[in-house]
Structure 1
């Protein structure tokens, strides 16, 4: 597992006092305040870094809004940022994807979640002292974005790319992109440890669905939350040809895209 993408609780625990290492808690504020959090973590709730307008609900918040958000919690562009939640990392993965898209070079996902951290490491309810920064996102910093739009998805369908749908079975049965395979994003998580399965186990799980490094892969769900987790896991495993359909099925249906139904 590539530590530039996903890091263990022990990795975080040994670096809590290092300058430039910032921990981001994306749970609800009441969880951060009332249940406790990783020492030194700042609160950046999930709803704060997605577009909540009626026009484009659930998608990226825009660089200006994201920059203002990170400035307020004292994060600088050259910081090493590690994000976590208490839902196996699915909400934190969305933060990772957002930060990467807006040009943050070093952002990682905590392997596991708050519950996994709490089993072996101390927590606190103390809030860190924050010194606001002047964070300026740089969306053009990435040489190539994994995000693709409607036209690119149509082209990928014509090329017979592998479309991976990470939604629930009933959602998939109701409507999915032609030829898509359903892959429950939670299959990569060990229910007992709440952490990701071992590298070998992950490869076996992915192979069972035909998800391999020699395929062009396009991920989608409804509003791009669940595919964030799968995207981060594939990056950590070294998959290179992975596209992220930000509009997902919501946009596809709104544009009368062709769909299939059922589980076959």
Structure 2
């Protein structure tokens, strides 16, 4: 896999002493403080970068608010960020997507989560001393952003775009975008190791649903959390034409967009 997007625990362990590598723990503060965290990790809880302040970007926090979070954590624009959680990476992937959208060039997802790391490496309860920075965000221009809105999704339905629903079976059967295929985001995770399945296995899983690198892909769920993980994984596998429907099914139904329901080949 592309180490610019997803890195292994071994890679991170070898780079913990690098002052340009900053580890971000997105769990709740009580978990970070009470359970422990990776050495040197700072805490930026999920709720702090998940709101509706940025009216043009769904539930992203806004460029300045996100910049304040990174600056308070001692992170600069040129630093490498590695994010993790303890939920197979789904919340950390949302952090990765947010950082990408606001122009951070080198942000990565830890393969696995806190529990996976803890099986092989030490954790700590010590909070690192950080020196705040004056972080300057550079939000992506619309044409460079993976995020798409209702109008773009409506247009994609008229093309040969593949709509990928990352939710559970019952959600998919209740309502889905027309023609969508279901790919539960958790299918890429090995439950025993808590890390991603081997690359060949991932490619087989995806191709079995018609999710191949030559297709234009539009990802959605309910509120754009779960698709963050799938987006990062596809990115790591070399997929390039990936669109991220930030409003997801919630926005689609608010606009009375057409949906399908009932059992389907999922």
Describe how 1:197-236 pairs up with structure 2 within 5 A. 197-236=197-236
Query: Using the alignment, how far apart are the partners of 2:24 and 2:142 within structure 1?
Result: 22
Residues 67-116 of structure 1 deviation map (CA, whole Å, 9 limit, x = unaligned): 11111111111100000000000000000000000000000000000000
Using the alignment, how far apart are the partners of 1:260 and 1:141 within structure 2? Answer: 33
Which residue is 1:48 aligned to?
Answer: 48
Partner of residue 135, structure 2? 135
**What secondary structure is seen at the aligned counterpart in 2 of 1:163?**
strand
CA offset at residue 140 of structure 1?
Answer: 3.4
Q: CA–CA distance in 1 between the matches of 2:215 and 2:42?
A: 38
Of 137-146 and 165-174, the range deviating more from structure 2: 137-146
TM-superposed CA distance for 1:56, in Å, is 9.5
Q: Any conservation in 2 of the 1:94–1:228 contact (CA below 8 Å)?
A: yes
**Which string of whole-angstrom CA distances, capped at 9 and with x for unpartnered residues, describes residues 102-159 of structure 1?**
0000000000000000000010000000111111110037971111111110111000
CA drift of 1:160 comes to: 2.6
3-state secondary structure, aligned to 2:232: helix
Could you tell me how far apart the structure 1 residues matched to 2:174 and 2:117 are?
Answer: 37
Say if 2:15 is the partner of 1:21.
no
Alpha-carbon separation, structure 1, partners of 2:230 and 2:203: 13
Asked if the contact 1:84–1:113 (Cα under 8 Å) also holds between the matched residues in 2, the reply is yes
Gaps of 5+ in 2: none
After superposition, the CA RMSD in angstroms is 1.6
How far apart, CA to CA, are the structure 2 residues paired with 1:70 and 1:140?
17
The answer on whether the counterparts of 1:52 and 1:58 sit within 8 Å (CA) in structure 2 is yes
Matching residue of 1:259? 259
Residues in 2 aligned to 1:73 and 1:185: alpha-carbon distance in whole angstroms: 29
CA contact (8 A) 1:103 1:142 kept: no
Deviations 1:12-64 (A, max 9, x none): 001111111000000011110010000000000000001157x8997111101
Give the distance between the partners of 1:235 and 1:130, measured in 2 at CA: 31
State the partner residue of 1:74: 74
- 8 A Cα contact 1:221 1:227, kept in partner: yes
Matches of 2:164 and 2:98, distance apart in 1: 20
Partner of 1:10: 10
Aligned residues: 263
Dislocated runs of 4+, deviation >3 Å: 55-58, 140-143
SS at match of 1:13: helix
2:224·2:246 contact (CA, 8 Å) conserved in 1? yes
Are the equivalent residues in 2 in contact too, given 1:165–1:180 (CA < 8 A)?
yes
Task: Write out per-residue CA displacement over residues 139-196 of structure 1, whole angstroms, 9 at most, x where no aligned residue.
Answer: 0379711111111101110003100000111111111000001110000000110000
Partner in structure 2 of residue 150 of structure 1? 150
Could you tell me which residue of structure 2 aligns to residue 185 of structure 1? Answer: 185
Give the superposition deviation at 1:263.
Answer: 2.2
Local SS of the residue matching 1:108 = strand
How many Å separate the matches in 2 of 1:75 and 1:57?
Answer: 23
TM-score normalised to structure 2 length: 0.96
